[in-house]
Amino acid sequence: MPSVLILNGPNLNLLGQRQPQVYGHTTLAEVEQQCREAAGPLNLEIQFEQTNHEGGMVDLIHAARGKHQGMILNAGAYTHTSIALMDAISSAELPTIELHLSNVHAREAFRHQSYIARVAIGVICGFGPRGYTLALEAMADHLAEKDP
Ligand code: DQA
């Protein structure tokens, strides 16, 4: 069964408490539960992770190489700044979907820039927690097309 790493970056541990007017009331544990429920019928295994540390994210992406078949990445603010994450994704050679809860393009100009998008197969943003299950569906389709 194909396996997907769902990796969440800085401040996403505070989901549900942090700026609920922007990010909603759902907690990260609830998002993980929704992902686990969605993954089974899509025939995907998942590993769900969160870290506030850029280097820790790089390590998890390196460890995903050869272990997982795809990655769904909400890199939080590192999306807009991290060449290190972009390089890690290129090195891991894993199809990656960039994900954001909020519509970053409707927000401040500094959120319009993404280093992740350059190396992602696609981007989902603006649909809140539903974005995670949309991304799992898109990843399942992508992996089935690659390896029917
Ligand atoms: C975010 C958007 C980023 O700009 C922000 O820094 C986050 C969360 C989102 O999911 O909407 O931390 O990635």
pLDDT digits 0-9 by tens, 74-131: 999 999 999 999 999 999 999 999 999 999 999 999 999 999 999 999 999 999 999 9
pLDDT at residue 147 is higher than 90: no
For residues 51-75, give the mean pLDDT: 98
| Ligand 1 atom nearest residue 74's Cα | 13
CATH class, 3-113+122-146 region = alpha beta
78 as an active site residue: the answer is no
Mean of pLDDT over the chain = 97
Q: Are 4 and 136 in contact (CB under 8 A)?
A: yes
| Ligand 1 atom nearest residue 75's Cα | 13
pLDDT value at residue 80: 98
Euclidean distance between CA atoms 140 and 51, whole angstroms: 25
> Ligand 1 test: best mutation among 100, 105, 130, most atoms within 8 Å of CB?
100
> What's the CA-to-centroid distance between 33 and ligand 1, angstroms?
20
pTM higher than 0.75, yes or no? yes
Q: Which of 100, 128, 129 is nearest to 112 (CA)?
A: 100
For residues 23-32, give the mean pLDDT: 96
The radius of gyration computed from the CA coordinates of the chain, to the nearest angstrom, equals 14
For residues 19-38, give the mean pLDDT: 95
40 pLDDT tier (thresholds 50, 70, 90): very high
Q: Ligand 1 — pocket residues by CB below 6 A?
A: 11, 74, 76-77, 79, 100-102, 104, 111
> Which residue, judged by its Cα, is nearest atom 6 of ligand 1?
77
Q: Which of 90, 30, 83, 21 is nearest to 54 (CA)?
A: 83
146 pLDDT tier (thresholds 50, 70, 90): confident
Domain boundaries, the chain: 3-113+122-146
